[in-house]
Structure 1
Amino acid sequence: MARAHMLRLLCAIFILCFQLTCCSEVKKYPLLMPHIHPYRDELYICTPVRVVDNKSFYIVGFEPNATMNVAHHMLVFGCTEPGSTNEIWDCGEMSTNESDKNLVTAPPCSKGNHVLYAWARNAKTLKLPDDVGFQVGQGTEVQYIVLQIHYSKKFPDDVLDNSGLNLLYTERPQSKLAGVLLLATGGKIPPHNITHMETFCEIREDKVIHPFAYRTHTHSLGRVVSGYRVRRNDTGTDHWSLLGRRNPLTPQMFYPTFTKEPIKYGDRLAARCTMNSANRNRVTIVGATNNDEMCNFYLMYYVENGNPLSMKYCTTVGPPYFYWKDTDLNNIPDYEASKSYD
C-alpha cells in the first residue's frame, strides 16, 4: 500500500507540474495576412481569428512581423463580432477611395470594438509588465481578434503579402488586466500654419487605472504628440502630469509612460498633436489616406481589480471647432505640450 500511495503521489505531482508548465508557458500565435495581393493604393485589409469558445487566454506581448516599406500601419482589434465572416475584407471605412467589387466592405468589428495594439514605422516587440495581460475569450467581450493593415501602395502583379504579428499569450490568469484608451481628434489643418489638434475627457468610472505605455500616431505633418493626466485640486487649479510626449515620425511603438501615477475617477485625460503645414498649399483633413492626417495618443494601462474601463475612446471634433483654451481647463502647459522631444 505504501508503494501504491507513493505512486499516486508522484502521479499527482507530475500532473500538477505539467499543468503549471502548460498553462504558464508563453506561446506564440501567428496573426498574419493570408498571402494577399494589395491591388490598389490606400487599401485597408482586415482578417479575423476566432478565439476558442470555452477558454480564456491572456495576451502578454506583441511581436511584429512587418516593415514600414510594406505596411503603413497595423492595428489589432478585439471584437465581440467581426465586421465580416470572410477571410479578408476591405475595412477602410474612413478611406476616401470609392469601394470596388473585389472585396466586401465592413468595419473591423460589427460589435464590441476594442483596440488591443497598434504598430507603425518599424516599431519593435512589445512585452507587457509582469502579471499584466489582455484577457480574451471565455468571460470577456473579445471573442474574435482582427488584424487590420493599411497598405498605402499597391503591390506589383503576382506579389503577395503575409505581414502581421505574433501574439504572445498564456493560459495562466494574470492578476492585472490590460486595456487601451485612444485619445483622438477630427478637424482640419489650414495650409502654411502650426495647428494644435486637442482632445480631453473625464474618467467617469469608479476605477483606478495604472498607465504603463503610450504610443503616438500622425501622418507626415505631425511634429509632437503629448498626453496628460489632469487633476484639479481643492482650489480649482489643474495639475497636468505628463504621460508621454514624442515626435510621431520616429518608430511608432509603445513606450514607457513618463509617470505611472494612478488615474482615478474625476481625473481628466488630454492630448495634443502639433501639426506643421508650412510646406503644404492645401487644407488637410483627418482621414485614412497618406494625403490626410490623424492625431492619436494611445494609452495602455492595467487595473488590479475588476475589468478595464468601459470607455475605449476619447475624441473631439478638433480644429477649428475645439481647443483646450475654449474649455474650463486651466494652467495649460502650452509650451511644454508642443516642445520637441525624440
Structure 2
Amino acid sequence: MAALSFVRLNLLRSKFFWHFVCFALFIHDQQGFAFAQEQGEIETFDLLMPNVLPKKAETYFCTPIRIDSDTDYYIVGFVPNATMETAHHMLLYGCEEPGSDEEVWNCGEMAVKDPSLRSAEPCKKGSQVIYAWAHDAPSLQLPPGVGFHVGGRSKIQYITLQVHYASVDRFVGGVRDDSGVFLKYTTIRQPKSAGVLLMGTGGRVPANSVEYMETACKINEDKVIYPFAFRTHTHALGRVVSGYKVSRVNRRDEWKLIGKQDPQLPQMFYPVANNLTLSKGDTVAARCTMVSNRNWVTRIGLTSDDEMCNFYIMYWTEGGDVLNTKHCFSMGPPIYNWSRNRLNNIPEDASTL
C-alpha cells in the first residue's frame, strides 16, 4: 500500500519537507478495522505539534499538514498522543485551505496569543471538524467500511491540528510539547463516508443558577445519514449534554435519543444510544445542562474559565455524499431555547443521566 504523503508547512523559512511515516500496525482483532484488514494493511501518520513551547496559559496553537492530492486516503481511526495535564482539548480540522502557511500559529480568536507568532483561523476555506479529544479520552476506531475521505478528489486537502493549552505548568524550564493525534489510514476505498455535525451554542450562564443551553437545526439536504457515535464537550459547569432526533408527527414532536453523557467524564466519542437515521425534514436538537455555583456570570468563550456547549454527531453515509452542513449553532440563553423554536413534547429526562 502506498504511504500517506503529507507536507508540513513552513513557508516563512522557505523550508518544505515531506514527512513520511509508513509502518504496518498490529491490529489486535479490533472490529473497527475489519474491512480494511481484509484488503490491505492499515498505516499510521503522526500529526503532532512540532515541539512547541506555549508560554502562557490559555494558548491555542495550530499546525497543518498538506495531503497528497494525487492519492485518495481514508482515515479509519484516531489515537491521541496527549494527557489532560498538558492539553485541555484537541481538535482536528479538515480544510480546503489552511488558516496559515506557517508551521505553527495562534488560532484562538479571543484566547491568549504568543506575540512571536501570527494569528489565524484553523482553516482559511472549507473548515470541518473530523475529530475531537479531551479529558484523557481513549482511541477511536470507526465502524467497518467507514472512513474520512482526505486528499485525492476529496475537499479535505489539509488537516490542521489545534491544541488548547489551559495550563503551562508542565513547560516551566523550557520543556517542549508534541501533543497530537496518530492517524490510522488506508488507501483502500471505504464504501461508507464519515462526517461530523457539530452542534453548539452561544449565550451565558447566570450566577448561582441552573441553565439550559439549547440548539436545534432541521436537516434540509436530501440525504440519509447514519449516526454511529456522539461526543459531548463543556468546561467546568456542564453536568449533562444530550442530543436527539426530533420528528414531527401530527403536530406533535417525537424525540429519539442520539446520546447523553456527563461531560466531566472522558470526552470521547461514545456509541449512539439508538440505531437511527437522519434525513430531510428531521430536526437534530442538543442541550447542555449547566450548574453554576459562581457569584458571577459565565459566558461562552475559549478559556477554561469560560464555558462551551458542544454536541458532536459522527455519522456515515453511503458513498461520498456527506452533509454540506458542518455546524449547527444557536445564540443560546437568554435569547434562544427549544420552546422558542417551537419544539414541543420535550423529554423530561433531557437533563438527567
Q: Does structure 1 conserve the Cα–Cα contact (< 8 Å) formed by 2:242 and 2:351?
A: yes
Distance 2:69 2:324 in 1: 22
| 1:101 CA displacement | 2.2
1:242 to 257, 261, 269: 257
2:346 to 309, 332, 336: 332
| 1:24 CA displacement | 2.6
Distance 2:114 2:71 in 1: 38
Structure 1 260/27 Cα, relative in aligned 2: closer, same or farther at 3 Å? same
Q: Does structure 2 conserve the Cα–Cα contact (< 8 Å) formed by 1:23 and 1:171?
A: no
Which stretches of structure 1, 4 residues or more, deviate above 6 A after TM superposition?
A: 20-23
Distance 1:149 1:305 in 2: 31
Letter in 2 for 1:265: K
State the match for 1:139 in structure 2. Answer: 153
| 1:246 CA displacement | 0.4
State the match for 1:170 in structure 2. Answer: 186
Structure 1 292/54 Cα, relative in aligned 2: closer, same or farther at 3 Å? same
Distance 1:325 1:22 in 2: 49
State the match for 1:196 in structure 2. Answer: 212
Letter in 2 for 1:180: V
TM (norm. structure 1) is 0.90
Distance 2:180 2:287 in 1: 29
Percent same amino acid among aligned pairs? 53
Distance 2:202 2:107 in 1: 19
The answer on 1:258 being equivalent to 2:277 is no
The answer on 1:221 being equivalent to 2:237 is yes
Distance 1:331 1:242 in 2: 13
Distance 2:323 2:209 in 1: 37
The answer on 1:124 being equivalent to 2:159 is no
Distance 2:278 2:57 in 1: 41
State the match for 1:58 in structure 2. Answer: 74
Distance 1:159 1:106 in 2: 25
Letter in 1 for 2:210: I
State the match for 1:212 in structure 2. Answer: 228
Distance 1:180 1:21 in 2: 24
How many residues are treated as equivalent by the alignment?
316
SS at match of 1:261: coil
Deviations 1:209-249 (A, max 9, x none): 0000000000000000000000111x111110000000000
Distance 1:22 1:266 in 2: 38
Letter in 2 for 1:43: T
TM (norm. structure 2) is 0.88
Deviations 1:191-212 (A, max 9, x none): 0000000000000000000000
Distance 1:306 1:140 in 2: 9
Q: Does structure 1 conserve the Cα–Cα contact (< 8 Å) formed by 2:59 and 2:114?
A: no
Q: Does structure 2 conserve the Cα–Cα contact (< 8 Å) formed by 1:316 and 1:322?
A: yes
Q: Map 1:105-124 to 2 at 5 A.
A: 105-124=119-138
Q: Does structure 1 conserve the Cα–Cα contact (< 8 Å) formed by 2:106 and 2:114?
A: no
SS at match of 2:56: coil
| 1:23 CA displacement | 7.0
Which one has a bigger Cα radius of gyration? 1
